[in-house]
Amino acid sequence: MYIDNDEQHRFQTSSFSASTPSRKLYKSIVNTTAKKGYRSDLRAEAVARASMVRQSQRQKKERKTSKPRGASARKAAKAVAENS
């Protein structure tokens, strides 16, 4: 029996565009791993890895600064009123 240890045959790679929906991406990964004889107990880990890669490539949104509320809001309003 011949076992191919060649680097390119050991790893399964897939490329998807940024606009591909997540569910379609995960389903594709599950289907291709099932067809290529991938260990069934590692499918969840493969999907989790793809999820983390996708999350790392997402652009971060800028967070708005929160408005002061409660006592700090009253304090800020009082400071503005004293300065004007």
d(CA 74, CA 84) in angstroms, rounded, equals: 16
Q: Could you state, in order of their start, the residue ranges of all structural domains in the chain? A: 14-59
Cβ within 8 Å of residue 32, ≥6 positions away: 12, 14
Residue 5 is predicted with a pLDDT of: 63
For the question of whether the overall pTM of this predicted structure is more than 0.85, the answer is no
Matching residue, tokens 């809001």? 73
* Residue 26: how many other CB atoms lie within 10 Å: 17
**Is the separation of the CB atoms in 16 and 28 below 8 Å?**
yes
Counted residue by residue, the chain has a size of: 84
Residue 4 is predicted with a pLDDT of: 60
Give the tens place of pLDDT for each residue, 16-71.
888 888 899 899 988 888 888 778 888 899 899 999 999 888 888 898 888 889 99
